[in-house]
């Protein structure tokens, strides 16, 4: 029998429907692969019993001729999604072994459609990071290695466990969240597909909050089609999230394979950074050529406020984080470190429970929101945000359907390579992705090629609000041209 972990999600779905194999077989194959791949540290919690029970249920439903769009499909869940009765930590010590008494809306919808939960996936602590090195469970290892080297590389972050698990065949798809690039950057670093939908497309209810005006959930998978299948189940209006938008969820899969003839694709000149590597430049031109060959029209566009996006993001995101993280006080959730009085207890709990990057964000956020600095920093950053959004709106008003950029400024880097004294080195990873969160737009990362050392590189397509369908159509053109990227197995 073929290795069930190497199927795409769509192939697995079809195989289950034809009864070529059962969900229990498919699930067991993934559980076995997870066991062999513990060196990657992608999962922080495996839930084999729950997985098998869900798989048995799915098999029974399929046998009776029923089953939702994801019936029997094994998935991994980022540890930022609350899972009822199953430990949810955001990979922070401060949540201890918190078991939520509720399920996030996004995961509820995945289970409603028949999916099977394999376990919870590693991420940067509270999703703050670009390399999955700030997790209290330790770093995730990228299944990719440079040619001829066994140096351990990061999978990107913050959804590094999700990306690594999908790339290494430890699930057919995974959930992620993206506040500044946490789906698209790790997808690019691991040679897979990831989409951050429009802000408001997926409910944030039951997802541990980082920066609420930027956070958005989305799927990872090994093909564009598979992410389209997953997004359909994840998306939708939820009255429990006031920012979720009441709009019908289209059949995203139907957009895969649709002609892109006549679509106008913007190439933003401000994304051609000084000192950008020749490899990234080549990848970008190649992507544009592929879209052109498929009948799209390329136009140079200008997004003049691009260079302010990263600094503005690093004011807005920490400001919101400092407010969101105030709830971790040692009383309501997880860990507590006692003190002589209640204030000391708060201080001790937060000092012991938060890692250094989270503390940095809380301090920056508190500073920019404090009286006297609020106008100079926070308010100003909000104004810049409006200008960034307007740049995109102007571009779309000129008839541009989507924008093509590189997903990241480089391929995956080594563990520890960017965790030195200057945090900006790490923050620069998100230079091409944060603008999209600031503007609330959908963005997809699709593998487009490899660097000279054999590591995958990703292209990003940014769309009009709620036009994820065009991104799936364009993404598939790139995928068809670039092919699939599978790491050589070294992890057992
Ligand atoms: N790397 C960015 C940060 O650290 C974005 C993270 C994310 O999208 N969750 O804030």
CA–CA dist 368, 268 (Å, integer) = 31
Contacts of 50 (CB under 8 A, 6+ apart): 86, 117
* Lookup result for tokens 């930022």: 80
Task: Looking at the CA of residue 129, tell me the nearest atom of ligand 1.
Answer: 4
- Between the CA of 124 and the centroid of ligand 1 the distance, in Å, is 9
Quick one: tokens of 142? 């990228």
Total count of residues recorded for the chain: 492
pLDDT the model gives residue 108: 98
The yes-or-no answer on residue 158 being catalytic is yes
Q: What is the dihedral of CA 37, 128, 230, 102, to 10 degrees?
A: 100
- Between the CA of 75 and the centroid of ligand 1 the distance, in Å, is 23
What CATH number should be reported for the domain whose range is 8-492?
3.90.1300.10
Catalytic: which of 23, 104, 159, 182? Answer: 182
The yes-or-no answer on residue 418 being catalytic is no
Task: Looking at the CA of residue 427, tell me the nearest atom of ligand 1.
Answer: 1
Catalytic: which of 78, 196, 418, 450? Answer: 78
- Quick one: CA dihedral 347, 178, 301, 455, positive or negative? positive
With a Cβ cut-off of 6 Å, ligand 1 is lined by 127-130, 158, 178-182, 210, 317, 430
* Lookup result for tokens 């700030």: 134
- Between the CA of 129 and the centroid of ligand 1 the distance, in Å, is 5
CA–CA dist 312, 364 (Å, integer) = 12
| Of residues 186, 173, 181, the one with CA closest to residue 144 | 186
Closest residue CA from atom 10 of ligand 1: 128
- Quick one: CA dihedral 462, 463, 465, 467, positive or negative? negative
Domain range summary for the chain, segments of one domain joined by + = 8-492
The yes-or-no answer on residue 92 being catalytic is no
* 3-class SS of residue 208: coil
- Between the CA of 179 and the centroid of ligand 1 the distance, in Å, is 5
Quick one: tokens of 245? 């938008």
Where does residue 20 rank: exposed (0-12), middle (13-18), buried (19+ CB within 10 A)?
Answer: middle
- Between the CA of 19 and the centroid of ligand 1 the distance, in Å, is 41
Q: Which of 90, 124, 309 has the most ligand 1 atoms within 8 A of CB, as the residue to mutate? A: 124
pLDDT the model gives residue 397: 98
Q: Which of 179, 188, 311 has the most ligand 1 atoms within 8 A of CB, as the residue to mutate? A: 179
- Between the CA of 182 and the centroid of ligand 1 the distance, in Å, is 5
Is the link from the previous residue into 411 a cis peptide, with omega within 30 of 0?
Answer: no
Catalytic: which of 23, 131, 158, 162? Answer: 158
Where does residue 492 rank: exposed (0-12), middle (13-18), buried (19+ CB within 10 A)?
Answer: exposed
Task: Looking at the CA of residue 177, tell me the nearest atom of ligand 1.
Answer: 9
Q: Which of 180, 320, 408 has the most ligand 1 atoms within 8 A of CB, as the residue to mutate? A: 180
pLDDT the model gives residue 39: 98
Task: Looking at the CA of residue 314, tell me the nearest atom of ligand 1.
Answer: 10
- Between the CA of 72 and the centroid of ligand 1 the distance, in Å, is 32
CA–CA dist 391, 331 (Å, integer) = 44
Task: Looking at the CA of residue 159, tell me the nearest atom of ligand 1.
Answer: 9
What are the pLDDT tens digits along the chain (492 aa)? Answer: 579 999 999 999 999 999 999 999 999 999 999 999 999 999 999 999 999 999 999 999 999 999 999 999 999 999 999 999 999 999 999 999 999 999 999 999 999 999 999 999 999 999 999 999 999 999 999 999 999 999 999 999 999 999 999 999 999 999 999 999 999 999 999 999 999 999 999 999 999 999 999 999 999 999 999 999 999 999 999 999 999 999 999 999 999 999 999 999 999 999 998 888 999 999 999 999 999 999 999 999 999 999 999 999 999 999 999 999 999 999 988 889 999 999 999 999 999 999 999 999 999 999 999 999 999 999 999 999 999 999 999 999 999 999 999 999 999 999 999 999 899 989 999 999 999 999 999 999 999 999 999 999 999 999 999 999 999 999 999 999 999 999 999 998
- Between the CA of 178 and the centroid of ligand 1 the distance, in Å, is 7
CA–CA dist 61, 67 (Å, integer) = 5
pLDDT the model gives residue 1: 57
Contacts of 5 (CB under 8 A, 6+ apart): 29, 30, 33, 169, 170
- 8 Å CB contact between 182 and 157: yes
* 3-class SS of residue 104: coil
Task: Looking at the CA of residue 183, tell me the nearest atom of ligand 1.
Answer: 8
Contacts of 284 (CB under 8 A, 6+ apart): 267, 404, 405, 406, 459
Contacts of 215 (CB under 8 A, 6+ apart): 127, 177, 178, 179, 204, 207, 209
Q: Which of 78, 90, 121, 158 has the most ligand 1 atoms within 8 A of CB, as the residue to mutate? A: 158
CA–CA dist 145, 489 (Å, integer) = 10
Q: Is the pTM of this model over 0.95?
A: yes
């Amino acid at each position: 029998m073929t290795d069930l972990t190497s199927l795409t999600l769509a192939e697995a779905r079809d195989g289950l429907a034809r009864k070529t194999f059962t969900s229990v077989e498919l699930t067991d194959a993934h559980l076995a692969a997870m066991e062999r791949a513990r060196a990657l540290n992608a999962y922080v919690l495996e839930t084999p019993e729950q997985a098998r029970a869900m798989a048995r249920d799915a098999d029974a439903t399929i046998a009776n001729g029923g089953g939702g769009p994801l019936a029997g499909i094994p998935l991994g869940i980022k540890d930022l999604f609350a899972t009822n009765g199953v430990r949810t930590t955001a990979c922070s010590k401060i949540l201890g072994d918190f078991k939520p008494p509720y399920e996030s809306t996004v995961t509820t919808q995945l289970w409603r459609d028949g999916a099977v939960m394999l376990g919870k996936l590693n991420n940067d602590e509270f999703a703050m990071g670009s390399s999955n090195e700030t997790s209290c469970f330790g770093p995730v290892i990228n299944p990719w290695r440079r040619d001829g080297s066994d140096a351990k590389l990061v999978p990107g972050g913050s959804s590094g466990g999700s990306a690594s698990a999908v790339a290494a065949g430890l699930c057919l798809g995974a959930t992620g969240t993206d506040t500044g690039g946490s789906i698209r950057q790790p997808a690019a670093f691991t040679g897979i597909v990831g989409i951050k939908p429009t802000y408001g497309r997926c409910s944030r209810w039951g997802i541990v909050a980082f920066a609420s005006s930027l956070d958005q959930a989305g799927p990872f998978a090994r093909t564009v089609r598979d992410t389209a299948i997953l997004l359909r189940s994840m998306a939708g209006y939820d009255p429990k999230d006031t920012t979720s938008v009441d709009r019908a969820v289209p059949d995203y899969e139907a957009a895969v394979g649709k002609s892109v003839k006549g679509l106008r694709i913007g190439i933003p000149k401000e994304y051609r950074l000084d000192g950008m590597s020749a490899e990234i430049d080549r990848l970008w031109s190649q992507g544009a050529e592929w879209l052109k060959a498929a009948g799209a029209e390329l136009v140079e566009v200008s997004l003049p406020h691009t260079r302010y996006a990263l600094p503005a993001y690093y004011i807005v995101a920490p400001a919101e984080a400092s407010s969101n993280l105030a709830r971790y006080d040692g009383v309501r959730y997880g860990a507590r470190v006692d003190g002589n009085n209640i204030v000391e207890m708060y201080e001790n709990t937060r000092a012991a429970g938060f890692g250094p990057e989270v503390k940095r964000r809380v301090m920056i956020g508190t500073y920019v929101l404090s009286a006297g600095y609020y106008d100079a920093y926070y308010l100003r950053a909000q104004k810049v945000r409006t200008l960034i959004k307007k740049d995109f709106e102007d571009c779309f008003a000129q008839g541009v359907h989507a924008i093509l950029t590189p997903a990241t400024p480089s391929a995956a880097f080594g563990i520890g390579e960017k965790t030195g004294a200057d945090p900006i080195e790490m923050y620069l990873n998100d230079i091409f992705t944060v603008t999209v969160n600031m503007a609330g737009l959908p963005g997809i990362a699709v593998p487009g090629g490899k660097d000279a050392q054999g590591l995958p590189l990703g292209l990003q397509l940014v769309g009009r609000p709620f036009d994820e369908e065009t991104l799936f159509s364009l993404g598939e053109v790139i995928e068809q041209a670039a092919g699939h990227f599978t790491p050589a197995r070294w992890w057992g």
